[in-house]
Structure 1
Amino acid sequence: MEDQAHQTGPTAGPDHEQRWAELADLVLIISREIQFRGYTDERAVPLSPSEGMVMRYLQREPAAPPSRIATATGLQRTNLSTVLGGLERKGLVERRADPGDGRGVTVHTTERGRTNYALVRREWAAAVSEATDHDTEHLDAALTLLTAVETGLARTRPRNRATRPAAES
């Protein structure tokens, strides 16, 4: 008999709220497990969750003004400034004067930042793949669902709230 809490698909029952809560719980637990592992490759530069969010954004947008990074990541500008300082000290980003506006700056990933991101993604991939015994049967469906969740959450992020994460229960 299948465990109702983990059953998915059209016959899973009418209690969708509980299943969405289970998904959210699992995402948080998986994220923590990945962070808890650290990295096996000594070249990997460990990052705080906020530093990781900024580096993920900069992989898609390799040069961006701090205001755009703050909006995209949900970080307050003052917190972002601290995060960028840490990433600069680690050699992962650099701030450059904006050629279009001498008063402004843009943040750029460095070669070390791009290399580090690729390295840690390989480690995450290996850990997650190993955890599932390399089973890819539902991988595309999971990626589609989680991408939709991420996109929807980012799109509907409250604009007027402080962006500190809610306390975990």
Structure 2
Amino acid sequence: MVEDDPTDRLLAELAETILRIARDLDPHAAGLDVVPLTGTETAVLRWVHRNPGTSPSAAADATGLRRPNLSAAVRSLEEKGLVRRSPDPADQRQQRLEATSLADEGVGRLHAYWSGRVRAALGDDLAEAGAVVDLLDRLESGLRAH
């Protein structure tokens, strides 16, 4: 049985803890004024916001989405006023994706909400926060690779 291995139990508990934290940080449950997004839209918007001028191909690769799914998410984000497409100045046949000011405002509200909740939960003991972020980034990258 997998659960007999202490390391497996620890890793399963890590996954459960991440899920509980995500639930506690859900901006919609808190009534935060942000545009509701699907998980796919959230992943695409996060990538576009962090990588202004990204191409649809790069966004699909980074988010692990197939091109048709990415295209549908980008269309929906455009309709919600959160992403805009523009021709690539170096190659007019290619497109670039940019987050809009509405997206910037929403991301700003989310970041303020999340940092406030996390700071309230941890107090001034933030010494290990950077190491935790690094670990979770490695976990995310590893999960995407498999």
Fold match by TM threshold 0.5: yes
Cα deviation digits, residues 41-99 of structure 1 (max 9, x gap): 43x22222111111211232111111110110011111111111111111111011222
Query: What stretches of structure 1 of length at least 5 have no aligned partner?
Result: 1-13, 158-169
Q: Report the AA paired with residue 56 of structure 1.
A: R
1:107 aligns with 2:124: no
- 1:57 alignment counterpart: 47
Alignment equivalent of 1:120, drawn from 110, 126, 136: 110
Q: Number of aligned pairs?
A: 141
Q: Note closer, same or farther for the CA distance 1:51–1:29 as it changes in structure 2 (3 Å cut).
A: same
- 2:123 alignment counterpart: 134
Q: Report the AA paired with residue 129 of structure 1.
A: R
Distance (whole Å) between structure 1 residues aligned to residue 125 and residue 48 of structure 2? 28
Query: What stretches of structure 2 of length at least 5 have no aligned partner?
Result: none
CA contact (8 A) 1:55 1:117 kept: no
CA RMSD, Structure 1 to Structure 2 (Å): 2.2
- 1:18 alignment counterpart: 9
Equivalent pairs: percent with the same residue? Answer: 33
Distance (whole Å) between structure 1 residues aligned to residue 125 and residue 61 of structure 2? 34
Write 1 or 2 for the structure with the bigger share of helix.
2
Cα deviation digits, residues 4-40 of structure 1 (max 9, x gap): xxxxxxxxxx711110111012212322332374354
Could you say which structure has the larger radius of gyration?
A: 1
Q: Note closer, same or farther for the CA distance 1:93–1:39 as it changes in structure 2 (3 Å cut).
A: farther
Q: Report the AA paired with residue 21 of structure 1.
A: A
Query: Which deviates more from structure 2 when the two are superposed, residues 110-119 or residues 28-37?
Result: 28-37
Q: Note closer, same or farther for the CA distance 1:41–1:30 as it changes in structure 2 (3 Å cut).
A: closer
- 1:31 alignment counterpart: 22
Q: Note closer, same or farther for the CA distance 1:68–1:88 as it changes in structure 2 (3 Å cut).
A: same
Distance (whole Å) between structure 1 residues aligned to residue 98 and residue 117 of structure 2? 29
CA contact (8 A) 2:82 2:100 kept: yes
TM-score, length basis structure 2: 0.81
Q: Note closer, same or farther for the CA distance 1:101–1:149 as it changes in structure 2 (3 Å cut).
A: same
Structure 1 stretches (4+) deviating beyond 4 angstroms?
A: none
Distance (whole Å) between structure 2 residues aligned to residue 83 and residue 55 of structure 1? 9
- 1:85 alignment counterpart: 75
TM-score, length basis structure 1: 0.72
